[in-house]
């Protein structure tokens, strides 16, 4: 048992947690780890994404990418998804997941029902590079040069 000094009247209770609406979100990769699968037959890369703009700024999403597994198809899917993350983040050949940290990209997010609880949850369904704000300027039309003595 632990002694605490907490008064619930001083803190508003947390609202019900709801998944993000389906859509595209600008996010940054905020954390990463390699974890063992629940079955113990492989490992996956887990990335944490934090939404960095808009109404849902600060919300977090997680992506899990199988890299070792007895199920070959799971590994193929996981590696393809991780490749999409790396390309969207601009890190084509990472040697450490930390190289992806603080990289901004755009996530496509959808909702699906969990099989065990039938509750909605978010799933990241795609990754795109963040569009740069500085688009190439339209070429400037050059006027024919006028000799200084011909100018008025």
- With bands split at pLDDT 50, 70 and 90, how would you rate the model's confidence at 131? confident
Cβ atoms of 86 and 98 within 8 Å: the answer is no
pLDDT at 145 over 70: no
pLDDT at 151 over 60: no
pLDDT of residue 132: 57
- Looking at every residue in the chain, the average pLDDT score rounds to 88
pLDDT of residue 135: 41
- The pLDDT tens digits of the residues spanning 22-70 come to 999 999 999 999 999 998 889 999 999 999 999 999 999 999 999 999 9
Cβ atoms of 37 and 5 within 8 Å: the answer is no
Distance, in Å, from the CA atom of 63 to the CA atom of 130, rounded to the nearest integer, reads 18
Which domains does the chain possess? 19-129 (2.40.50)
Instruction: Report which secondary-structure segment, H or E, holds 63.
Output: strand 60-68
Distance, in Å, from the CA atom of 97 to the CA atom of 82, rounded to the nearest integer, reads 11
Distance, in Å, from the CA atom of 92 to the CA atom of 106, rounded to the nearest integer, reads 16
Select the more confidently predicted residue: 9 or 144. Answer: 9
């Amino acid at each position: 048992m632990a002694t605490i000094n907490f008064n619930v009247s001083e803190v508003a209770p947390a609202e019900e947690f709801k998944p993000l609406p389906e859509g595209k979100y600008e996010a940054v990769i905020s954390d990463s780890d390699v974890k063992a699968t629940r079955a113990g037959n492989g490992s996956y890369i887990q990335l944490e994404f934090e939404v960095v703009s808009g109404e849902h700024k600060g919300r977090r999403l997680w992506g899990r990418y199988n890299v070792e597994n007895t199920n070959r198809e799971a590994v193929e899917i996981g590696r393809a998804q991780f490749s999409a993350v790396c390309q969207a983040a601009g890190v084509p050949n990472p040697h450490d997941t930390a190289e992806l940290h603080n990289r901004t990209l755009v996530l496509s997010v959808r909702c699906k029902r969990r099989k065990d609880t039938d509750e909605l949850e978010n799933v990241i369904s795609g990754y795109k590079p963040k569009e740069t704000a500085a688009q190439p300027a339209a070429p400037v039309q050059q006027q024919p040069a006028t000799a200084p003595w011909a100018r008025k």
